[in-house]
Amino acid sequence: MAHALTLKKSNCKNCYKCIRHCPVKSIRFSGNQAHIISEECILCGQCFVVCPQNAKEITDGTEKTRMLLMSGEPVVASIAPSFAANYEGVGIESMREALKKLGFYDAEETALGATMVKTEYERLLHEEKRDIVISSCCHSINLLIQKHFPDLLPYLADVLSPMQAHCTDIKKRIPNAKTVFIGPCVSKKDEAEAYPDIVDAVLTFEELTNWFKAENIEPEKKIVKNENSRARFFPTTGGILKTMSLDEPDYTYMALDGVENCIAALKDVENGNIHKCFIEMSACPGSCVGGPVMEKYHRSPVKDYMSVANFAGKNDFAVDMPDSNGMRKDFSYISTNSKIPNDHEIKNILKQMGKTRPDQELNCGSCGYNTCREKAIAIYQGKAEISMCLPFLKEKAENFSDIISRNTPNGLVVVNGMLEVQQINQAALKMMNLRFATDVLGENVVRILDPIPFIQVQDTGMGIFNQRTYLAEYDRYVEQTIVPDNDSALLICFMHDVTDEEKEREKKEAISRQTVEVADKVVDKQMRIVQEIASLLGETAAETKIALSKLKESITDE
């Protein structure tokens, strides 16, 4: 069976809003995508209503209805009484005319079937004296009991819904007729498929409105009052009770709307605390006028109620009431196959989530589940992932960031748009001879560093990289990198201490200068020595020359 709700995977953004609002947590997350668990879903439509990305889609019945209209058989529309709220100022006559323009054979009010249903409810209480009777008009409530409270199935009224009662009656009166229910409900699509041969197609009000627009059809705003139409109250909270006689002695009559309220009541019934009671249950807050297809685009609780109330009459519709067997409907248990882990298994999963003590179970609900233990159970069942825990991820990211910040030898200083220090690590504190981060947190960066480079980066939006700077106050040399984080409007400064390297360079330069000076002195000295030697050699040669000349002269003279 096709599921009435589908999912556009590309639109899912991991916001977990659908899980938070799903009363039975029938949504599974895998691969960062939400998946509807059909065997647990009660088709209340809340995920469709709240999804901010419009990732949830209702299966469109327009094409199927078009095929019925082309079949040649008479197609009759059964219009839910909540249409009075969705199509303000439009009566059943105008709706019939508009639908006939689309090709429908006829259109009638589902409230006719509602009259039959309320009459059967009265008979159950009066003739069968049942202890507890829970109304079965709302298919989402029926699914809730079938899937999640199967022990209470004996209390669920085994009676056709107004949609089914009306469509059965139409097919009895009109040979070969096909029926199309039109209303504000997602679950009716599933009910039509689960009980075939009664309803042939289901349209939501949204689908019908789009069809009208495509064909340039606009229902005329005209209402003809009919006092024999009390069952038009059915789509409002307590609307079923408004149509019933409520005269059975010792019985308590009550109406509940919203799945959470209904679940609380069902738990009361489970505990054996309730007897002699008729409970009208509606999954949607405000009942059908608060239906998912109305609530998404047309949510006006008071105005919608007034529209329905003003449209309803004081007396019942005149209907041919079928016998009790013709109103019967069987409800069976629908298994969800959900295994529950034991306490040891839950604790192991909590440990993986970084929760080893009860005080670490924040139960913040950011993952969509009400408690950490409920989330752990969902992980065990394969419905959730550990990474869906926001505090766990935040703490993990912070721990990872802290490990890097604490252990890096580089200084780290983070300032905000006002140039106030927001974060400083231990390496930076050491560079600036500071004992505690609290000494400078919240202070302007000018207290510890030259603010001009920060202002430059802030004004240009461009980072400064590996700028060698001398921090005179601290007698340190650093290579300073300042980059902007535009998303958080922060400036991040990284400082690599190059003091030792710089001093080693200066030391080498000093040694080089000294070497040059020594070399120069040696060269000067050597030059002087050479000159002195040359001078001495010059004098000796001259004397020798004179002596030899004299000797030569003396020899020559002889």
Collapsing DSSP states into helix, strand and coil, what is residue 482? Answer: strand
- pLDDT, average across residues 184-206: 94
Q: What is the pLDDT of residues 249-263, one digit of tens each?
A: 989 999 999 999 999
Q: What band does 353 get if pLDDT is binned at 50, 70 and 90?
A: confident
For residues 12 and 388, the answer to whether their CB atoms sit within 8 Å is: no
Residues 402 and 415 in one domain: no
Residues 342 and 471 in one domain: no
Give pLDDT, residue 297.
58
- Which of 337-346, 360-369, 479-488, 518-527 is the least confident region? 518-527
- Decide if pLDDT at 175 tops 90: yes
Residues 9 and 51 in one domain: yes
Residues 69 and 51 in one domain: no
Domain boundary among 327, 354, 370: 327
Say which residues have a Cβ less than 8 Å from residue 546's Cβ, sequence separation at least 6. Answer: none
- Decide if pLDDT at 298 tops 70: no
Instruction: State the Cα–Cα distance between residues 512 and 507, nearest whole angstrom.
Output: 9
Identify whether 505 is part of a domain: no
Give pLDDT, residue 154.
97
Give the number of other Cβ atoms within 10 Å of residue 271's Cβ.
Answer: 8
- If one compares 11 and 110, the residue with the highest pLDDT of the two is 110
Residues 314 and 386 in one domain: no
- If one compares 183 and 10, the residue with the highest pLDDT of the two is 183
Give pLDDT, residue 390.
74
Give pLDDT, residue 508.
82
Identify whether 506 is part of a domain: no
Q: Beta 411-415 vs 277-282: how paired, if at all? A: unpaired
- Decide if pLDDT at 51 tops 60: yes
- Which of 251-260, 288-297, 452-461 is the least confident region? 288-297
- Decide if pLDDT at 326 tops 70: yes
Torsion sign (Cα): 81, 83, 88, 94? negative
Identify whether 80 is part of a domain: yes
Q: Which of 44, 52, 82, 11 is nearest to 298 (CA)?
A: 82
Residues 68 and 41 in one domain: no
- Decide if pLDDT at 544 tops 90: no
Residues 220 and 307 in one domain: yes
Domain boundary among 308, 327, 346: 327
CATH assignment of the domain containing 368: 1.10.15
Identify whether 508 is part of a domain: no
Residues 475 and 399 in one domain: no
Instruction: State the Cα–Cα distance between residues 392 and 243, nearest whole angstrom.
Output: 52
- Decide if pLDDT at 12 tops 90: no
- Decide if pLDDT at 275 tops 90: yes
Element of type H or E holding 415: strand 411-415
What domain range is 70 assigned to? 60-327
Give pLDDT, residue 315.
94
What does residue 84 show for φ and ψ, rounded to 5 degrees?
A: -60, -30
Amino acid at 142: N
Residues 351 and 447 in one domain: no
Residue 500 is encoded by which pair of tokens? 């030792």
- Decide if pLDDT at 296 tops 60: no
Domain boundary among 29, 59, 89: 59
CA end-to-end distance (rounded Å), the chain: 151
Residues 183 and 107 in one domain: yes
Identify whether 504 is part of a domain: no
CATH assignment of the domain containing 40: 3.30.70.20
Q: What band does 472 get if pLDDT is binned at 50, 70 and 90?
A: confident
Share of the chain above pLDDT 70, in %: 92
Instruction: State the Cα–Cα distance between residues 459 and 545, nearest whole angstrom.
Output: 87
Looking at residue 322, what DSSP letter applies?
P
Identify whether 333 is part of a domain: no
**What are 185's strand-pairing partners?**
none
**Helices (H) and strands (E) in the chain — how many of each?**
20, 16
Residues 118 and 221 in one domain: yes
Identify whether 208 is part of a domain: yes
What mean pLDDT value characterizes the chain? 89
Residues 465 and 531 in one domain: no
Identify whether 378 is part of a domain: yes
Residue 390 is encoded by which pair of tokens? 């926001």
- What Rg value do the Cα atoms of the chain yield, rounded? 44
The residue assigned the tokens 């002596």 is 547
CATH assignment of the domain containing 420: 3.30.450.20
- If one compares 203 and 558, the residue with the highest pLDDT of the two is 203
Domain count, the chain: 5
What does residue 511 show for φ and ψ, rounded to 5 degrees?
A: -65, -40
